[in-house]
Amino acid sequence: DTEVTQTPKHLVMGMTNKKSLKCEQHMGHRAMYWYKQKAKKPPELMFVYSYEKLSINESVPSRFSPECPNSSLLNLHLHALQPEDSALYLCASSPPEGLAGGRGTGELFFGEGSRLTVL
Amino acid sequence: RKEVEQDPGPFNVPEGATVAFNCTYSNSASQSFFWYRQDCRKEPKLLMSVYSSGNEDGRFTAQLNRASQYISLLIRDSKLSDSATYLCVVNGVSGTYKYIFGTGTRLKVLA
């Protein structure tokens, strides 16, 4: 069972709706991620938060707005999405690098994803 | 050119076969390398990290060639349960947390 919890598991929304995806982890990880995955494609990095600060934004359209209220929570606010935004949205977390003799684990722990359909 | 590339497959192999996947990356400053496995409609899960000296975990062997900028995964004695998509993941300069996924290789092990 994954230790990263994502809600909702499924979401259907219209192009004028505002909704949010939520992600929670209690492993003490200080890096949290949003990835987008379309069918038969690899996960595509969207945002990275490190110590609750946005450290990477991969030129994601502003209709996606991330938020990290504290070290355990990560939200993705959705507004005025397009049908092509329909995808699986994966949240992940990772422990800090520099552990275990400088190598770090590098493991990304993923949630089960939120499957989004935009009508 | 994509940052991390793999042969998409599918690789269809009989049970018991040995199969190898390669992955090439474009950023020579990349520091960390991993293989993930993703089952259909599930989240990716770490299969193994890839260390400079190469490493083995049971039937799985990973190798890194920094000079040629590729990593490989060898699966020996394939099982039906190995059927999945295998994704290589590369992290850039240490501390950036920028984990980039390769295009993925589908493996189907046939009875």
- Residue B94 and residue A105: Cβ atoms within 8 Å? no
Separation in Å, CA A57 to CA A79, A117, B102:
17, 23, 19
* Angle at CA of residue A93, ends A70 and B63, nearest 5°: 155
Record: contact B98-A48, CB cut-off 8 A = yes
Whole-angstrom Cα distance, residue B109 to residue B31? 32
Q: Among candidates B16, B81, B13, B98, which has minimal Cα distance to B47?
A: B81
Q: What pLDDT shows up at residue B31?
A: 83
Our separate counts of H helices and E strands in chain A read 0, 11
- Residue B101 has its nearest CB partner, among A2, A43, A105, at A43
Give the percent of chain B with pLDDT over 90.
75
pLDDT of residue A104: 42
What's phi and psi for B46, nearest 5 deg? -65, 125
Which among B53, B99, B106 is the top mutation candidate for probing chain A, defined by the most A β-carbons within 10 Å of its own β-carbon? B99
pLDDT at B53: 87
Q: Which residue of A has its CA nearest to B47?
A: A107
Compute the distance between CA of residue B33 and CA of residue B102 in angstroms, rounded to an integer.
11
pLDDT score recorded for residue A80: 94
- Which of A60, A94, A97 to probe the B interface (max B CBs under 10 A)? A97
Burial of residue A23 (number of CB atoms within 10 Å: 0-12, 13-18, 19+)? buried
User: For the segment B41-75, what is each residue's pLDDT rounded down to a tens digit?
Assistant: 899 999 999 988 889 999 999 999 999 999 999 99
Q: Does B87 touch chain A (CB under 8 A)?
A: yes
Detail the DSSP E strand segments found in chain B: 4-6, 11-14, 19-25, 32-38, 45-50, 55-57, 60-65, 70-75, 84-91, 99-101, 105-110
What is the pLDDT averaged over residues B86-101?
81
Nearest to A55 among B87, B97, B101 (CB): B97
Interatomic CA distance for residues B27 and B25, integer angstroms: 6
Retrieve residue A105's tokens.
């684990």
Mean pLDDT value across chain B: 91
- What pLDDT score does A2 carry? 64
- Mean pLDDT to the nearest integer, B27-54: 91
Number of CB atoms found within 10 A of residue A18's CB: 12
Q: Which residue has better confidence, A1 or A62?
A: A62
Q: Are strands A31-37 and A44-50 parallel, antiparallel or unpaired?
A: antiparallel
At A6-29, the pLDDT tens digits run 999 999 999 999 999 999 999 988
Residue B67's pLDDT is 93
Looking at residue B58, its pLDDT comes to 96
Is some CB atom of chain A closer than 8 A to the CB atom of B49?
yes
With cut-offs at 50, 70 and 90, classify the pLDDT of residue B94.
low
Distances (CA, A) of B44 to A2, B39, B48, B87, B88: 11, 7, 12, 8, 11
